[in-house]
Each structure stands twice: as C-alpha cells, then as structure tokens.
C-alpha cells in the first residue's frame, strides 16, 4: 500500500496511539480523517496538521456516526485505503468481590466500545474499500485494529477489557479471510505498556516501575513506535490476518 495520497481514517485519533498514528500517516502523505469523541483535541490536531487533515466527531458504537466518518474519508479521487481503530476504554473490577458481582452493564459497555465499535469501523470501512480500484498488487485497502496484550495475559480485574481485546484478536483472521478476495488486508496490533494519556496520570515513580517490568527495552513504549508499526503494516502487503504483539517481550503477571 502506497501511503502517499491515500485516504486514511483513524478512530480515537485525537490522542495517544491514535494521535501518533494520525501524525505518522499524515507525514507520509496520506489524507487523514481524525475520528474522535473529543472535539477540542481533534480539531486542534487537524488545525495543527493543516492540509490533508480533517476532524469529525464520532462515537464508534453509533453506526451512523462511523458511516459519516467513512464517507468523509472516502473521496472518489483517492478512496479510503487505510483504516486504523484506536478508540477504546478500560474498566477494572473483579468478577466477584466485596462489592458483589461485576456489573453486567459495565461489562457490556466495555464490549460495546472496544469490540462492537471496532466491528462497526471494520465492516463499514471494508465496504468502502471494496469499491476502490485495486493497486498494482491487487490491493484495495488495509484495516488495523488495536488489541492488547491483555487479550493473552489478562490481569486481575481485567475481565471486561481482556474479553473485548480477545474478541478483536478473534475477529482478525476470519475478517482477513472474508475480505481476501477483494484485496483488503486485516491485522491487529497488541500493545503492551505504552506511554498513553491513561498512564500519564500516574506518578513518575509508578511509570518507571511499570517500564522496568519490560525485558527490553525496559521502558514504556512510545506511541510513535505503535504508529511506526501501522506504517510498516500498510506498506507490507504480505502482512495479513495476524495479531502482532508490540510489547518488548513482556508477559503480564496476574497483578
């Protein structure tokens, strides 16, 4: 996939891993639509990047909202070629504890945003990509979702989050097979401990302690490293149907 001049869409693109991905694709020449609930940050990022960057307010659990973003990124002259799902939330609570059973509504909410929201973006982006003219290699588009090492190494209290991210992993291969005849690739990245806004709220001592758990490099991952992998996936047509751990060889402990 030639990133230059491609249409791209990044959900959760106003901050963290999504923002870094927007910057990486834009720097490579893509026309990027930033889709996010946070209008203030999204509009500021689009204004900073200038040409080839636009913001649209999107709730990934609302199919009409996602469709509007896909339409915006699917201009006829270039088409939507690259879609990256970075929108997501977390919730920490044990299956059962002093507070009683894990609330069903909170479990459902995490799955709706992380898993159903990713499915919405996947199905609607792929439908748009399906109309693209194939490039010289027969490719029409590439979709990259954000899973997590929690899909494999879920910790205490991560039942909802791990289930949602495990679902993303489970979707990846069948989606790639579904779309293979149309030249649309589907992959997932499973990040480990990354320096995102969620961890930025922790004291520096706690952040350093988390980074020290990673075998090498013994530090928190940088969003730019996630974005670099997105770019490499887009450019390498043989990558397909796989979940790639991006974690410095960490295997999370129970807590």
Cα separation, 51 vs 205, in Å, equals 40
Cα separation, 39 vs 46, in Å, equals 10
Distance between start and end Cα atoms, the chain: 40
Which residue out of 107, 119, 143, 161 is catalytically annotated? 161
Q: Which helix (H) or strand (E) segment is 100 a member of?
A: strand 100-101
Q: Is the link from the previous residue into 69 a cis peptide, with omega within 30 of 0?
A: no
User: What dihedral angle (degrees, nearest 10) is formed by the CA atoms of 22, 27, 32, 34?
Assistant: 30
Give the residue carrying structure tokens 């005849």.
181
Our answer to whether residue 161 is catalytic in this structure is yes
Q: Nearest Cα to 183, choosing from 239, 141, 145? A: 141
Contact 41, 65 (CB under 8 A): no
Question: Active-site residue numbers?
Answer: 161
């Amino acid at each position: 996939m030639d990133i230059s001049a491609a249409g791209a869409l990044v959900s959760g693109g106003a901050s963290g891993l999504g923002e870094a991905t927007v910057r990486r694709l834009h720097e490579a020449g893509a026309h990027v639509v930033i889709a996010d609930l946070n209008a203030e940050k999204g509009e500021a990022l689009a204004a900073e990047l200038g040409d080839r960057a636009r913001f649209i307010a999107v709730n990934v659990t609302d199919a009409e909202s996602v469709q509007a973003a896909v339409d915006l990124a699917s201009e006829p002259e270039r088409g939507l070629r690259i879609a990256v799902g970075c929108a997501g939330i977390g919730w920490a609570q044990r299956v059962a504890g002093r507070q009683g059973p894990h609330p069903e509504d909170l479990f459902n909410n995490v799955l709706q945003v992380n898993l159903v929201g990713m499915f919405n973006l996947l199905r609607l982006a792929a439908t748009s990509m399906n109309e693209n003219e194939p490039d010289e290699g027969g490719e029409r588009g590439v979709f990259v979702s954000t899973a997590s090492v929690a899909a494999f190494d879920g910790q205490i209290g991560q039942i909802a989050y791990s289930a949602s991210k495990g679902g993303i992993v489970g979707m990846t291969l069948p989606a790639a097979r579904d779309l293979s005849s149309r030249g649309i690739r589907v992959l997932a990245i499973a990040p480990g401990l990354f320096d995102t806004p969620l961890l930025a709220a922790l004291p520096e001592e706690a952040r350093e302690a988390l980074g020290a758990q990673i075998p090498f490099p013994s530090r928190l991952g940088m969003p730019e490293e996630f974005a670099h992998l997105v770019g490499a996936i887009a450019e390498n047509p043989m990558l397909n149907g796989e979940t790639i751990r991006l974690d410095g060889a960490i295997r999370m402990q129970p807590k």
